[in-house]
Structures are given as structure tokens and as C-alpha cells.
Amino acid sequence: MKFCASIPVKITLLGEHAVVYGEPAIASTIPRTIEMCIDVLEDKRIEVVSKGVYVELNRASFDRTSSRVSYSLNTDMLRKIFSYIVSGIELCEEFLSISKRGYSITIDSDLPVGVGLGTSAAISVGIVALCLTVNGYSPDEQGFLENVARLAWSTEKKVQGAASPMDTFTITFGGLRYIEPRAPLAHEIVSPTELPVLIGYTPKRMTTAELVARVRELISRYSDVGEFVIKGIGQLVQIARRCIEKGDLECLGVCMNANHSLLSLLNIVAPETDIIISTLRHAGALGAKMSGAGGGGAFIALARSFDELQNLARLVKNLGGEVVATRLGSEGIRIFRIA
């Protein structure tokens, strides 16, 4: 029996980095997805085929009896994707208390990997949900999504060493979420108006793990300043939640701008991101900030209305950035059975 899943990626509106230290964050899925499918194999191999515009057609295979791995192309990208797949399957089998099996997995994505849109988290959520489903845990059963979110978070921690639950919980449940990382919980935020946002990115020069380590080093060296920044971001997130719930876009924009300034103090904002952000603000965006780990990568701008987004998108393209979405998403992971 074959199962497939459509898994959205996400954007952080406020709170990245501080969420690693226990502060709340606000994130949302966006209407762009990664498609994944799973089938059980007769032998104990894990075979992954990934294709897409940014991820070339690649094949990787792991023999679970001999522990031999082979790659059609030994790229960093494929090795990285493969480590999330193998770890997710191991955690799923451990959770279900079942013995090792073989699986064939396909991944289809036209999204850039590693720019702050949560592609690694999406792959972790996807593999855990599909592995649970193909082994008999129905997505309709109570607690299914909670278990997917927790196991996908554990997958990210196992591969990366450290990760907050923000990306995996947002992607699992979908929509606009207030993340309490210590619980961990992802509360839905209900806004009276749809938020006119533009989400884009430029190439990223450092990995999330390197940027998280850079912030940790800075905070341990200057602990008073570090605490000021981290706690300040946490407070802005709480204010921003109230602004969203009241439909006060101006107030949300001010919080986003202030959050960007605090992130700048952590020395993780790339100059090209700063140029795009200040241009968007001068062009009328109510708020604009880097999003994700920094070092280039994703950014988000809030416009006064959906009509103004076209102009902002044109400016982003003129400055060499790519636009990935002009609204937030409402859905989390969706799983369906094929034949």
C-alpha cells in the first residue's frame, strides 16, 4: 500500500533564535508544498529518489543489513536529505516498537533547500507521518498529529544537534501559530483580517547550525546584552500576537521592524537582506524583517493591503531576490492513500 503526503513549508514572522532559548515565536505555513510518497520494500533497504528544480534527480540507498550507503550523486544536499529520512524512520520504528523494514521514498520539490523556509523540517514531518501511516497508525486516530510533531522535532534534533520545535510543529498543524517551545505547544492565532505579506529569499551563505552556534557564542561572551536581546524578542512576540488578534497591521509592522533590529544586534543579518528590507520599508511596507536563521536567506514584509504587494514583489526581483509567496497558508501536512 502506497501513501503520499503534501507538506507545506513555513515562514517565521517573529521570534527566530530567541525561540531556541525558550522564548515564544510566531510562524506560519505558506502555500508552497513538498510532495513525498512511501512504499514498503521486500528487503531492508531505504531508497530515496528526490527530484525537483533545485534538487536535481538524485537517488540514495541504505542497506539496513550491511549499513552500506550508495548515492547516485554524492552531493551535500542529498546526504543531508538522506540523514533526515533515515533518522525519521528510525525514530518512527522505535516509537511503534517494530523491527527495521525497507522503504522506497520519493521527494518532489521545487523549493530551495536551506534558506529558512523549513524544508528540512518539512522532510522530517513528511517522513515521520508517512512511516507511521504505512505501518498502520491511521492519521484519523487521536494524537496522530501531536506524535508526528514530536517525532519530527526529535528527528531535527538528532540530525542537527539542536533545534526548536517551531518549524516542525508549525508545519505539522499548519496556519498561523504561536509557539511555546518549552511546552511545546503551537496555538492557532486567529486574525480578523488576512495578513498581506510578501515572502522572499536571497541565497544563504551559512547553515542554520552555524548561525545558531554563532548566536550562542555571542550570547555566552556578552551574557547581559544577550539576555536583553533574547528577552526583548520574546516580549515583541507577545505584543505582536495581540496586534494580529486585533487586526492591527501597523502595530504588527512596528513589532516586525523592532524584531529585525534586535536580530541585527546578533550579527546574523546579511547586507543584501538589509538592503531589500530598507527598500521595502521605504516603498511603504508596514514592517519588514529577515526570517529564519539569517546569513542571507528568507525575509518577510507586511504591506498595508494586498494591492501593494505587486509593487513590493517587483522591487524584490529588481534587487536580485526571489519571491516565494504573497500570502500565508492555512494548511498543515495532508496524507492520502494511493491505490
Q: Output the smallest distance, CB 302 to ligand MEV, in A.
A: 19
Instruction: Return the amino acid letter for 68.
Output: R
Length of the chain: 339
Rule CB under 6 A: is residue 17 a binding residue for ligand MEV? yes
Rounded distance, CA 106 to CA 197, Å?
Answer: 31
What mask, x for binding ligand MEV by CB under 6 A, covers residues 274 to 303?
------------------xx----------
Closest to ligand MEV by CB, 170 or 326:
170
Which of 11, 16, 128, 199 touches ligand MEV by CB under 6 A?
16
Q: Output the smallest distance, CB 1 to ligand MEV, in A.
A: 34
Report the site for ligand MEV in 212-231 (rule: CB under 6 A). Answer: 212
Rule CB under 6 A: is residue 171 a binding residue for ligand MEV? no
Closest to ligand MEV by CB, 128 or 166:
166
Buried b (16+ CB within 10 A) or exposed e, 172-199: bbbbbbbbbbeebbbeebebeeebbbbb
* Residue 24, preceding peptide bond in cis (omega within 30° of 0): no
Q: Residue 59, SS3?
A: strand
Which of 87, 208, 279, 326 touches ligand MEV by CB under 6 A?
208
Rule CB under 6 A: is residue 199 a binding residue for ligand MEV? no
Question: Rounded to the nearest 5°, which phi and psi values hold at 65?
Answer: -85, -45
Rounded distance, CA 25 to CA 335, Å?
Answer: 27
Cell numbers representing residue 193 in the block? 483580517
Rule CB under 6 A: is residue 253 a binding residue for ligand MEV? no
Rule CB under 6 A: is residue 123 a binding residue for ligand MEV? no
- C-alpha distance from residue 318 to each of 30, 129, 270 (Å): 23, 40, 18
The count of chain residues that interact with ligand MEV, using the rule CB under 6 A, is: 13
**Dihedral over alpha carbons 216, 219, 223, 225 (to 10 degrees):** -160
C-alpha angle 133-135-141 in degrees, rounded to nearest 5: 45
- 135 exposure class (CB count in 10 Å sphere: 0-12, 13-18, 19+): middle
Rule CB under 6 A: is residue 159 a binding residue for ligand MEV? no
What mask, x for binding ligand MEV by CB under 6 A, covers residues 98 to 117?
------------------x-
Which of 4, 7, 9, 20 touches ligand MEV by CB under 6 A?
20
Question: Interface with ligand MEV by CB under 6 A: which residues?
Answer: 16-17, 19-20, 116, 163-164, 166-167, 208, 212, 292-293
